[in-house]
Amino acid sequence: QQVKPFDYIIFGATGDLTMRKLLPAFYYRLSAGQVPHNARIIGTARSPLERSVYQDRARDALKRFVQPHDFHEDLVEQFLNMIHYVSLDGSKAESNWENLRSLLNESPQEQIRVFYFATAPNLYGAISENLHKEGLVTEESRVVLEKPIGIDLASADQINNEVGRFFKENNVFRIDHYLGKETVQDVIALRFANPALEAVWSAKYIQSVQITAAETVGVEGRAAYYDHSGALRDMVQNHLLQVLCLVAMEQPASLEADAVRDAKVKVLQSLRPMDETRLKNDTVRGQYTAGQSNGIAVPGYLQELGESSNTETYVALRAEIDNPRWNGVPFYIRTAKRLKQKVSEIVIRFKAPETSLFPQQPRSSLLVIRIQPDEGLSWSLETKNPLDDNFALQKATLDVNFSKAFDVRYPDAYERLLLDAVRGYPVLFIRRDEVEAAWRWVAPIMEAWANNEVPMTEYKAGSWGPKQAEEMLAARGDVWHEDM
């Protein structure tokens, strides 16, 4: 349903995220009737642009990132009318705040104010302070912080402290767009609305869990950011650990934000810390070399960058959770740029029977939760081969594609999250202690990699990653999903 009228003030409004994700997401929610006519989106960035020029850029963004059959001229016009632009350096007290103030003053007092920080995270504190000094932070104002929050625990603490001086914790919305993905939220529904599934959701029946976020793109125009970040900070510390939390958490007391976050943070705190041996055996980092991406020849990471670099574009890890439910179950996590296929998925590999009644050993049953693309579920089970009178087995797969089954468009994660911040509904955002626990767990990995205690491997663009990642699984008799 429609949210209350809002002013959404975006810092970093000329950036890639705003154009690619935020503006199209607002457009889709307007088209769904969820955005009231008197809502406004106020872009701010340093560039001195006329409002009309910014509106033209917004139109181009919609042209590029909205499906052609969803691009309706009258709706686009209505959308562009909601858009304003203020040239402002939010991190500078001496910048020209007057225009933003007078624009905000035009709105009635009850208009909900959301500040969205899509800038470098080290500016979040300064922007918050300036907003406060200018008297723009009302009691109910919310702030949305894009990830990554810092580059390690100390910088995350600092940013959270600085922002926390001017915004109450329950008005701070730390975004992790993976939580906005419908199929990620589905993990909660699947587990806790189906007791039959939850009954086998433990080390007793599960052999391993794989969480993959594979991308075919390279670092695109983002090398300046990415080379300081790398796949571990960019994807694992946040998105993949959040997915892991939902797969592994105990049933929360309710679907209230704190109940769900309490359950998630317990998982993060139960991750077994990486020690020296595990850092060597259970972490793999790599960089892509020249190869093919979707049939097109592409350069390697270092060629793209034009200099040497110790930044990984590939990560594979074996995580373990020290609690009675998960003792001994490996959680394999991997993510990378320039892999063979774009796919994010969770693969639950159930144990095969220890002894076999049949002429052959039954294979593991796999439950695959396809996060994207092709959102859906598949479950492979052993069945009897009808052409064999000796009980030979064959795999049968139950498969459902959600958008076909339910005949709906699967929305982009940002659509839901942007409006949840207006609603003041934080369950799909990250609490401060989660950010900290996640940084704490990745810290030894970051340190060992920075000190080159784990060698950098290479993989060809368009492949499934370095052979060392295959070996990591083979050492325990496991294989990655694509090889199963």
C-beta of residue 347 within 8 angstroms of C-beta of residue 213? no
Q: Least distance (Å) from ligand BG6 to the CB of residue 430?
A: 13
| Complex with ligand BG6: residue 76 or 368, whichever CB lies closer | 368
| Complex with ligand BG6: residue 215 or 345, whichever CB lies closer | 215
337 is in an annotated binding site: yes
Q: Respond yes or no: is residue 69 known to be catalytic.
A: no
416 is in an annotated binding site: no
C-beta of residue 234 within 8 angstroms of C-beta of residue 336? no
DSSP lists the bridge partners of residue 104 as none
- The structure tokens listed for 450 are 């920075």
| Complex with ligand BG6: residue 7 or 412, whichever CB lies closer | 412
CA 283 – CA 114 distance, rounded (Å)? 39
Q: Least distance (Å) from ligand BG6 to the CB of residue 479?
A: 23
CA 157 – CA 221 distance, rounded (Å)? 29
| Complex with ligand BG6: residue 91 or 344, whichever CB lies closer | 344
Q: Least distance (Å) from ligand BG6 to the CB of residue 344?
A: 5
**Cβ neighbours, 10 Å, residue 390:** 9
404 is in an annotated binding site: no
234 is in an annotated binding site: yes
In terms of Cβ atoms closer than 10 Å to its own Cβ (0-12, 13-18, 19+), residue 155 is: middle
Q: Strands 314-319 and 296-298, how do they pair?
A: unpaired
**Cβ neighbours, 10 Å, residue 112:** 20
478 is in an annotated binding site: no
Which residue number is nearest to ligand BG6 in terms of Cβ? 234
Which of these, 54, 3, 52, lies nearest to 26 by C-alpha position?
3
447 is in an annotated binding site: no
CA 135 – CA 137 distance, rounded (Å)? 6
Residue 282, phi then psi, degrees to nearest 5:
-120, 15
Residue 207, phi then psi, degrees to nearest 5:
-85, -45
Which of these, 122, 104, 32, 52, lies nearest to 409 by C-alpha position?
32
CA 213 – CA 402 distance, rounded (Å)? 19
37 is in an annotated binding site: no
CA 218 – CA 333 distance, rounded (Å)? 19
Question: Which residues are near ligand BG6 by CB under 6 A?
Answer: 213, 215, 234, 344
| Complex with ligand BG6: residue 150 or 252, whichever CB lies closer | 150
Which residues lie closer than 8 Å to 252 by C-beta, 6 or more apart?
Answer: 259, 260, 262, 263
Residue 93, phi then psi, degrees to nearest 5:
-65, -35
CA 228 – CA 251 distance, rounded (Å)? 37
| Complex with ligand BG6: residue 95 or 313, whichever CB lies closer | 313
| Complex with ligand BG6: residue 311 or 344, whichever CB lies closer | 344
261 is in an annotated binding site: no
For residue 45, give the H/E element and its range.
Answer: strand 40-45
Per DSSP, the residues of 287-337 read: EEESEEETTEEE--HHHHHTS-----SEEEEEE-B-STTTTT--EEEEEES
| Complex with ligand BG6: residue 61 or 213, whichever CB lies closer | 213
What 3-state class would DSSP assign to 6? strand
C-beta of residue 291 within 8 angstroms of C-beta of residue 462? yes
Of the listed 69, 72, 132, 239, which one is catalytic? 239
Q: Least distance (Å) from ligand BG6 to the CB of residue 130?
A: 26
Annotated binding site for substrate: 177, 181, 215, 234, 337, 342
Residue ranges at the known binding site for NADP(+): 46, 147
Binding residues: 46, 147, 177, 181, 215, 234, 337, 342
Annotated catalytic sites, by residue?
239
